[in-house]
A and B are shown apart, each in its own frame.
Chain A
Amino acid sequence: MNAKANKNHVTSIEPAYYQAVTEAIRKEAVKILKDETVVGVVGYLPGRRQGTASPALVTTVEEAEKLIFSPACVNNLSVYLTKAKKGVLKQGKVGIVAKGCDMRALAGLMTESQLQREDLFIIGVVCPGVYGFGVERTGTLTEANIARKCRECTVHMPEGADVAAGTHTELADLTPEEAEEMARIEAMPQAERWAFWKEHFSRCIRCMACRQVCPFCYCEQCLCDKNRPQAVESSPRPAGNMAWHLVRAMHLAGRCGGCAECERVCPMDIPLNLLNRRMAKELKELYDFEAGLAPVDKGPLNQYKEDDDQSFIK
């Protein structure tokens, strides 16, 4: 994050860069599998269709030689180390390929004692960006096809990894779309803000994909599935939807690393990362906290200071 001075500004990221990262990942993965540092590596394999990638756990050298990194490597792999997949860690130390934003999730999960640093071998990716959704996947990453979150990325250069694959390169002068959108919403009159979110939330089909893909939604029993008593209606109707989104944003406040996976998987195109960003901004302003830059003892909503702002309390 503080490496701003060294960055290279370019107008497109050529496939050659990703190829170089791919080589570095393969080399490292093969090495740590061979010397039995790890029992497996969570990374990306080529997807079945051109221009896609799938998350995979590789356990042999042959498989490790097929690992890739490309702009199609959108998934945040840290989710594979939580929830049901926790079994992976029981076998021994695990390697994981992590972009900057995935590293934030790893750091957050360490903060929450869901992962131990010594159980991981992190192959950090110096990441110039990934594809947005619904764009043409030509191979060259440009301003036109880069993901929204990558436009404002502060973690191109992952910190705290065991090794880093790649050099520092990022696209020049990207418009910060999410920041602009957030400012636009904040400037709306209150009733318009309500109408804006109501419209978005009313389209939610409660598929819970946003929850399933989030590394921080690892609760064995989600509040939103509880029906005795029922805190949040679970059918896709307006009241329950509003409650679900507010609960989700609240539960992720101070934890969310901004990987925008929730937004990416949403079949209804609900701009969930705007809510995440808004909460992140608030916690930064109030408690000078940014989630996931490094593991910490406690998140901002699990601690307090006696002189915290209470101007809103009478």
Chain B
Amino acid sequence: MHGEHIKHDFEPKIVAFVCTWCTYAGADLAGTSRMQYPPNVRVLKFPCTGRIDPVFILRAFQKGADGVLVSGCHPGDCHYMAGNFHARRRFAAFRALLDFVGVDLNRLQFSWVSAAEGGKWVDVVTELTERVRTMGPMPEFKELEHEEQWSTFAEATADKSQVLNTPELKEAYDSIG
């Protein structure tokens, strides 16, 4: 039950959005079968991949996820007939959008894991965790989250006069104390 626990410098936070009928059951099977996988993953259960809105993925990244996994039933196995087919199109489009704005798609994994595939769950989670571990923390969305427009500008350039280039902006900045 207690696998060897290697201490790493960086423990990635992985958020997994899974469908309750297949992948959640698959992850559960992995657990009850005492399979070992990285404890980095936080599992969030949804009725269907069709319910997983792209905004959830953004939210996960903003709140500190270094990697996101979205996983549901194999095509044809959806409890609601076609939820995963719709999700597949939506996520194909969403990936293109994220890529266009400069998000590294290696941090975002989609998979089909059935209720019987405890082993595949372990593989997918392990692979994503290790991949993200080598990539390091994901700073982009976190930075946004932390940023107040002006404080960032001041941080970004040692000489804030370069950015706060109007007297009004400078005065406003100085007045925040």
Contacts and interface: CB of A to CB of B under 8 A. Distances in A.
B136 interface: no
Interface in B17-70: 53-55, 58-59, 62
Interface in A94-144: none
A279 B147 contact: no
Given A243-B58, A313-B110, A313-B112, A194 B89 contact: no
Contact of B97 (A275, A308, A313): A275
A301 B92 CA distance: 10
B97 A253 contact: yes
A190 B97 contact: no
A270 to B, nearest CB: 12
Nearest to A278: B100
A302 B99 CA distance: 22
B88 A308 contact: yes
A32 interface: no
Interface in B93-142: 93-105, 109-112, 124, 140-141
A264 to B, nearest CB: 21
B149 A202 contact: yes
B89 A300 contact: yes
A192 B149 CA distance: 19
A196 B102 contact: yes
Contacts of A288: none
Interface in A241-284: 241-243, 245-247, 249-250, 253-254, 275, 278-279, 282-283
Given A246-B58, A304-B88, A275 B95 contact: no
Contacts of B88: 304, 308, 310, 313
B170 to A, nearest CB: 18
A40 B48 CA distance: 46
Among A188, A202, A239, A253, the most chain B Cβ lie within 10 Å of the Cβ of: A239
B59 A231 contact: yes
Interface string A285-314: 011000000000000111111101110111
A239 B145 CA distance: 5
Interface residues of B toward A: which range?
35 or more
A223 interface: yes
A238 B95 CA distance: 21
Nearest to B57: A246
B155 interface: no
Interface string B81-92: 010011011111
A313 B109 CA distance: 7
A197 B140 CA distance: 12
Contacts of B98: 246
A49 B123 CA distance: 67
A309 B92 CA distance: 8
A250 B52 CA distance: 14
Given A193-B102, A237-B148, A306 B89 contact: no
A312 B106 CA distance: 11
Among B88, B89, B145, B148, the most chain A Cβ lie within 10 Å of the Cβ of: B89
A25 B133 CA distance: 64
Given A304-B86, A314-B124, A239 B111 contact: no
B143 to A, nearest CB: 8
B110 A282 contact: no
A286 B93 contact: yes
A190 B110 contact: no
B92 A237 contact: no
Contacts of B169: none
B177 to A, nearest CB: 19
A56 interface: no
A196 B86 CA distance: 31
B61 to A, nearest CB: 9
